[in-house]
Amino acid sequence: MSTLAILIRLALTALLLALAACGGSKESPLPAGSKVLALGDSLTAPHGVRPGEDWPTLLGQRTGWVVINGGVSGDTSAGALERLPALLEEHQPKLVLVTLGGNDMLRKLPPGQTVANLGRIVDLARATGAKVVLLATPKPSLAGAVFNSLSPPDFYADLARDKKLPLIEEAIPKVLSDTALKGDQIHPNAAGHARLGELIHAELKKIGFAG
């Protein structure tokens, strides 16, 4: 075999290995009627919008899932952790979407405490057999608010890696960086919730949960 042929074979082998590593295995789609719990704070609850305009409701309409809005305005990761066991027992969801941490950051709670609470939320949900997806919330930033360029803190990506769970990192920061999609400085308006529903659905399709 010529040197050129050997090099081509090695290059093709490396490419196939790289594609396999990047692709990974997708999750199985959740059928219509599956119960999904959206656990969060005012970014999940219909804060400032009418019932039915919140992104969990809109996500349910897109997917056919029964999406339970478990958002409570002002809630912290600790508060949601306390609420979670009852929600899991009542609804027995197949998937839990975790959108928390914003109020922890606003109250300047230690990031380690937030990460510990989020990790416990993941563990509790998984113990019931539910799948979990983490959604990142942007960190409070005066410069980010002024220049409409918000970004999440690193601990979301770190937690997703440590727990080996999917992370939707850009959806919420992208919406909250657009003044046309906000009702105030930190909450989406009806158009923002609609956009969130679109973005989250698109990411869940990539992950494999949504068809």
Among the listed residues 47, 187, 193, 201, the single catalytic one is 187
Q: Which residues contact 64 (CB under 8 A, 6 or more apart)?
A: 31, 32, 33
Return d(Cα 81, Cα 109) in angstroms, integer. 15
Q: What count of other Cβ atoms lies within 10 Å of the Cβ of residue 82?
A: 12
Q: Is 187 a catalytic site residue?
A: yes
Among the listed residues 42, 54, 75, 193, the single catalytic one is 42
Q: Quick one: which of 177, 172, 151, 87 has its CA closest to 124?
A: 87
Q: Is 41 a catalytic site residue?
A: no
Q: Is 42 a catalytic site residue?
A: yes
Chain centroid to CA 87: 18
DSSP code per residue over 88-138: HHHH--SEEEEE--HHHHHTT--HHHHHHHHHHHHHHHHHTT-EEEEE--P
Name residue, tokens 């989406």: 188
Return d(Cα 103, Cα 84) in angstroms, integer. 17
Among the listed residues 2, 25, 28, 184, the single catalytic one is 184
List the catalytic residues: 42, 184, 187
